[in-house]
Amino acid sequence: MKALEEVKATQAERAQDYVKSLYEQVVERNPNEVEFQQAVKEVLDSLIPVLVKNPTYIKQAVVERIIEPERLISFRVPWVDDEGNVKVNRGFRVQFNSAIGPYKGGLRFHPSVNASIIKFLGFEQIFKNSLTGQPIGAGKGGSDFDPKGKSDMEIMRFCQSFMTELSKHIGPDTDVPAGDIGVGAREIGYLFGQYKKLKGAYEAGVLTGKGLGYGGSLGRKEATGYGTVYFVEEMLKDKGLSFKDSTVVVSGSGNVSIYAMEKAMELGAKVIACSDSSGYVFDPNGIDLDLVKRLKEEENKRIYEYVKERPKARFEVGCAGIWSIPCDIALPCATQNEIDQEAAETLISNGIKAIGEGANMPSSQEAIDTFLENKVLFAPAKAANAGGVAVSALEMAQNSSRVAWTKEEVNEKLQSIMKDIYRKTTEASEEYGESENLVLGANIAGFVKVADAMIEQGVI
Ligand code: GLU
């Protein structure tokens, strides 16, 4: 008996050392890419118990293979602004993993975009896409182009130039981009138009998040936000809680945030704050979602305009302060690392019960550790925000079979996918001994499917 325990301890030590050396290698090979290093570290730490149980993964170097993108494309994007000046941005596409399907993942247009951001997003996409149960591999792309303040024609010219290069690398069976921060239906339209012109063929499934008139799916726009709330509702239900009568703070006011607020309200929650990169609005009577939709979806305005029409609401400059508002449930739906340890501690001292990550990697590692140590229910991004890409996969399925499903059909499928992700995540957490740690469960459940597919396909 003692001998067995010793063997187990040695195996655990070996797995820990292995993971540590892999992480050191990642830091050395990807210097200065802090977001990518952060995303890899979180997954590597989760995988230790899996590696102890299945040493084949070590023997087959699956983790080493998974952390190295299959391909990283970087390209020049020259375009002409309205004054006739030539501008140059940098474009990226990371094709991270194609073990279970064509590369799939959004495009982000934001000045902060660089190789590290694209690689962290592409890496997370491997596990997220796997969790959806849909046949999609992982990719991500974007540019450091800043869409803020640009005219419609400038956006169009930029998208056309971006696609002129990107079109060489994508296709409905190879790589299927979609939107992310700064890329919505308008940009997808311009990108699709240029792709179609270059290919001389109507390949509807090359992009998702398309307009409803040319191959888009009903329910795609709402999918990420709704999906996050469906996932959190499952997690709450397990503890005898629910969104009903709870107070909710949702950061952001883009696509994910707006539809997370909508679904939370539908389930009986009171949403009292949202934000954009200029600051946040706190509306103690409950956010007027129609107003947010008009300002953001129609008028392209900043969130501070909200208080002009809602005198009882307050606007505060800066984003971090939103986490000082006492609430039962927080849904970070803006961007990476928006909740640091200090914000996590403030949320906890104000009595937070649950966190649902709608954005990608919105909590820093220290914040996650703080939530878990304090037994806050925590729905990690890879699982909780997978609804968007899941419905993208449904859009691909509709495009392939040249049909269009009703909104109800899509929503029903989304709901069952989110329930399934919750089940897989909790089962993996339980199997590996930490039933309350859904970060561990999501990473493990996402990993195993991809790792097994890679092994079955040989040394690829
Ligand atoms: N950008 C979204 C994500 O982070 C959606 C990607 C997609 O639909 O392909 O998952």
Pocket test for ligand 1, best of 95, 120, 125 (most atoms within 8 A of CB): 125
Inter-residue contact 392 to 66 (CB < 8 Å) = no
Q: Which atom of ligand 1 is nearest to the CA of 128?
A: 10
Burial 374-395 (b: 16+ CB within 10 A, else e): eebbbbbbbbbbbbbbbbbbbb
Question: Would you tell me how many other CB atoms lie within 10 Å of the CB of residue 291?
Answer: 17
Burial 117-137 (b: 16+ CB within 10 A, else e): bbbbbbbbbbbbbbbbbbebb
Q: Give the per-residue pLDDT at 143.
A: 99
Distance in angstroms (rounded) separating the CA atoms of residues 399 and 393 = 10
Q: Which fold has domain 2-67?
A: Glutamate Dehydrogenase; Chain A, domain 3 (1.10.285)
Ligand 1 centroid to Cα of residue 227, in Å, is 12
Averages of pLDDT over runs of 10 residues in the chain (460 residues) are 75 93 98 98 97 96 98 98 98 99 98 98 99 99 98 98 98 98 98 98 98 98 98 98 98 98 98 97 98 96 97 96 98 98 98 98 98 98 98 98 98 98 98 92 98 97
Pocket test for ligand 1, best of 140, 392, 417, 421 (most atoms within 8 A of CB): 392
CATH code of the region 221-384: 3.40.50.720
For ligand 1, atom 9, the nearest C-alpha belongs to 105
Ligand 1 centroid to Cα of residue 85, in Å, is 32
Q: Give the per-residue pLDDT at 2.
A: 65
Q: Give the per-residue pLDDT at 283.
A: 98
Ligand 1 centroid to Cα of residue 205, in Å, is 15
Q: Which atom of ligand 1 is nearest to the CA of 391?
A: 8
Pocket test for ligand 1, best of 180, 231, 336 (most atoms within 8 A of CB): 180
Catalytic residues, which ones? 140
Ligand 1 centroid to Cα of residue 188, in Å, is 13
For ligand 1, atom 8, the nearest C-alpha belongs to 389
CATH code of the region 71-203: 3.40.50.10860
Ligand 1 centroid to Cα of residue 355, in Å, is 20
Ligand 1 first shell, C-beta below 6 A: 104-106, 178, 180, 208, 360, 388-389, 392
Inter-residue contact 185 to 159 (CB < 8 Å) = no
Distance in angstroms (rounded) separating the CA atoms of residues 232 and 228 = 6
State the span(s) of the chain assigned CATH 3.40.50.10860.
Answer: 71-203
Inter-residue contact 154 to 79 (CB < 8 Å) = yes
State the span(s) of the chain assigned CATH 1.10.285.
Answer: 2-67
> In the chain, what is the straight-line distance between the N-terminal and C-terminal CA atoms, in Å?
40
Distance in angstroms (rounded) separating the CA atoms of residues 122 and 115 = 10
**Residue with structure tokens 């009577």?**
285
Question: Would you tell me how many other CB atoms lie within 10 Å of the CB of residue 168?
Answer: 12
State the span(s) of the chain assigned CATH 3.40.50.720.
Answer: 221-384
Inter-residue contact 139 to 150 (CB < 8 Å) = no
